C-alpha cells in the first residue's frame, strides 16, 4: 500500500483569541491520487483545516496546536511554509484573490521563480502547465480579463506549476456557469487520474461532485463526524439530515420517493444521470 499523501493524527487547534478549539481531534488519511470531498456547515472548521495542511498553522497563525499533520511525508511543524508550498497548494473560492500578474504566463511562472529555479526549468513548468491545464491559447492574456471559468483554470495552473502532490480546492465551482463547472471538474479528474495528484475539495454544490470523488468527510463543530465512500455518506440522507445537511438533489428525490414506498432495488442514485437511469429501470419494471 502506498505511503499516505496526507496523514493527520489527533489534530486539535485553538486560535489564540478564541474561547474554544476550531479543530478537535482530527484524524484523516488520503492516499496518492485520491479525490476527497470535505463538507460541513459554515464554521465547521474546514478553512482552519486547510491552513493546517499548507503550514500556515502553526508557523504563521497564532494559537495552540496539538497532534501531527504530514503532507507527502513532511511534518508541517518541521518544515517552513515555503517548503510545504512545493508539496501542497490551494486554490481559493474566488480565483481573483490569487491572480495578480499581467499575463497568464507570468502567473504560471510566479511560483517557480520564487523557488529560485533555473530559467529552463521555469520554462519547462510553464509549458507543462499550459498543456495539461489547457492554457496554451491564454498565455498572453491578462487574467483579470478572463471569464470566471478561465480564471479558475489559471489559478489551478499556477498551483500545478509548483508541482505539489496535494491540491486543495475551496468551492471550485461556486462562481461558475454549468459549462465552466464541468470543464473545471473534468480538469480535477485528469489531475488525479492521469497525473496522480491527491485532491481535497470543499464544495456545497454536491450535484456536481458526488459522482467524481472517492471519499467524503463530514465536519461538524471542528470534528470529522462521518467518513466514507460517497454512497455510504450520501446514500443515507437521514444521517445527513440529522446534522442539518443534505445529500445531492437526485439522492434526496429518490429518498423521498423511497419513503413513499418506491423500491429502487439497491443503492440510491448520487447524480442526475444515475437518477434518470434508475427511473428508466423502474418504468421498465426492472429495479
pLDDT (tens digit, 9 = 90+) per residue, 141-196?
Answer: 999 999 988 999 999 999 999 999 999 999 888 778 888 888 889 999 999 999 99
pLDDT in tens, 219-238: 999 999 999 999 999 999 99
Average pLDDT along the chain = 92
Mean pLDDT of 204-216: 91
C-alpha dihedral (144, 159, 161, 103), degrees to nearest 10 = 10
Q: Which stretch of 96-100, 105-109, 133-137 has the lowest confidence by average pLDDT?
A: 96-100
Question: At 285, is the pLDDT very low, low, confident or very high (cuts 50, 70, 90)?
Answer: low
What is the pLDDT at residue 237?
94
Q: Cite the residue boundaries of each domain of the chain with CATH code 3.40.50.300.
A: 6-231
Bridge partners of 118, per DSSP, are: none
Bridge partners of 38, per DSSP, are: 202, 217
Question: At 287, is the pLDDT very low, low, confident or very high (cuts 50, 70, 90)?
Answer: low
CB-neighbour burial class of residue 38 (10 A; exposed 0-12, middle 13-18, buried 19+): buried
Contacts of 219 (CB under 8 A, 6+ apart): 38, 39, 40, 44, 45, 46, 49, 225
pTM of the model: 0.91
Topology (CATH) of 6-231: Rossmann fold (3.40.50)
Cα separation, 53 vs 105, in Å, equals 27
Cell of 186: 473534468
Amino acid at each position: 500500500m502506498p505511503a499516505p499523501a496526507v496523514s493527520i493524527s489527533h489534530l486539535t487547534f485553538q486560535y489564540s483569541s478564541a474561547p474554544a478549539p476550531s479543530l478537535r481531534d482530527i484524524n484523516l488519511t488520503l492516499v496518492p491520487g485520491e479525490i476527497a470531498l470535505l463538507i460541513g456547515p459554515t464554521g465547521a472548521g474546514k478553512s482552519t483545516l486547510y491552513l493546517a495542511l499548507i503550514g500556515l498553522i502553526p508557523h504563521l497563525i497564532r494559537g495552540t496546536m496539538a497532534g501531527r499533520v504530514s503532507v507527502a511525508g513532511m511534518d508541517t511543524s518541521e518544515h517552513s511554509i515555503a517548503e510545504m508550498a512545493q508539496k501542497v497548494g490551494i486554490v481559493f473560492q474566488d480565483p481573483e484573490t490569487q491572480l495578480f500578474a499581467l499575463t497568464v504566463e507570468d502567473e504560471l511562472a510566479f511560483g517557480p521563480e520564487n523557488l529560485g529555479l533555473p530559467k529552463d526549468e521555469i520554462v519547462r513548468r510553464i509549458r507543462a502547465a499550459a498543456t495539461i491545464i489547457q492554457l496554451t491559447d491564454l498565455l498572453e492574456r491578462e487574467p483579470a480579463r478572463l471569464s470566471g471559468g478561465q480564471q479558475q483554470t489559471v489559478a489551478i495552473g499556477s498551483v500545478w506549476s509548483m508541482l505539489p502532490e496535494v491540491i486543495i480546492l475551496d468551492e471550485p465551482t461556486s462562481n461558475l456557469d454549468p459549462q465552466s463547472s464541468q470543464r473545471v471538474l473534468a480538469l480535477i479528474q485528469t489531475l488525479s487520474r492521469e497525473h496522480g495528484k491527491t485532491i481535497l475539495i470543499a464544495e456545497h454544490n454536491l450535484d456536481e461532485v458526488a459522482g467524481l470523488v472517492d471519499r467524503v468527510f463530514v465536519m461538524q463543530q471542528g470534528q470529522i463526524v462521518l467518513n466514507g465512500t460517497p454512497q455510504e455518506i450520501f446514500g443515507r440522507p437521514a444521517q445527513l439530515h440529522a446534522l442539518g445537511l443534505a445529500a445531492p438533489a437526485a439522492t434526496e428525490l429518490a429518498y423521498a420517493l423511497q419513503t413513499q414506498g418506491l423500491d429502487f432495488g439497491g443503492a440510491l442514485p448520487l447524480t442526475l444521470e444515475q437518477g434518470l437511469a434508475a427511473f428508466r429501470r423502474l418504468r421498465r419494471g426492472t429495479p
